[in-house]
Amino acid sequence: MKFLLLPILSLYSFSIHAQNVGIGTTTPPYKLTVNTNGIGISQQSTSGLHEIGFFTNESGAYIQTHSPSPMKFAVGNGNAVMTLTTTGRLGIGVSLPTAKLEVNGDAKVNSMSVVDDLTVTGNITISGEGMVRSATSAHLK
């Protein structure tokens, strides 16, 4: 009985594998189509339950963590290269950013407008036709 059941299951699995699979739809256009207003993925680890969700509504599309943990982005070997904290701080090359945007390493900005104050610790290099102005007094060395 086992020997007869295995070839039948293999053929059945093959035919399912060759088809598009749909959840919430009878005509899936892709290999896996989920037609719903939200999708959640959860993983239980020794540090607790971690969840991520994908959903849309009138105001847009969202990727969201459903746990009080930062969202980490990793490539290659799995080490996080970018972190978005639960308070909205984004760190690139920084695991615990202390400002709205914190970059560890070089950053290139083609155009920048500073509305209030700009504090520079370390060196600042201005190339090309760079101009530094101040409406009040500026101390440049």
8 within a domain of the structure (yes/no): yes
139 within a domain of the structure (yes/no): no
125 within a domain of the structure (yes/no): no
Q: Which helix (H) or strand (E) holds 2?
A: helix 2-17
Residue 48 is predicted with a pLDDT of 76
**How many domains does one find in the chain?**
3
Statement to judge: residues 81 and 54 lie in one domain: no
CB 89 within 8 A of CB 102: yes
Residue 82 is predicted with a pLDDT of 96
Note the pLDDT tens digit of each residue in 38-50.
787 777 777 777 7
pLDDT at 13 exceeding the cut of 60: no
115 within a domain of the structure (yes/no): no
Domain range for residue 22?
1-35
Q: Residues 73, 78, 80, 84: is their CA dihedral positive or negative?
A: positive
pLDDT at 69 exceeding the cut of 80: yes
Note the pLDDT tens digit of each residue in 106-141.
888 888 788 888 787 777 777 767 666 655 555 554
Residue 53 is predicted with a pLDDT of 85
CB 71 within 8 A of CB 90: no
132 within a domain of the structure (yes/no): no
Q: What is the DSSP string of 24-75?
A: S-SS-SSSEEE-SSEEEEEEEETTEEEEEEEEEETTEEEEEESSSS-EEEE-
18 within a domain of the structure (yes/no): yes
Listed residue (54, 50, 80, 83) closest to 68, CA to CA: 50
Residue 103 is predicted with a pLDDT of 95
126 within a domain of the structure (yes/no): no
CB 62 within 8 A of CB 56: yes
84 within a domain of the structure (yes/no): yes
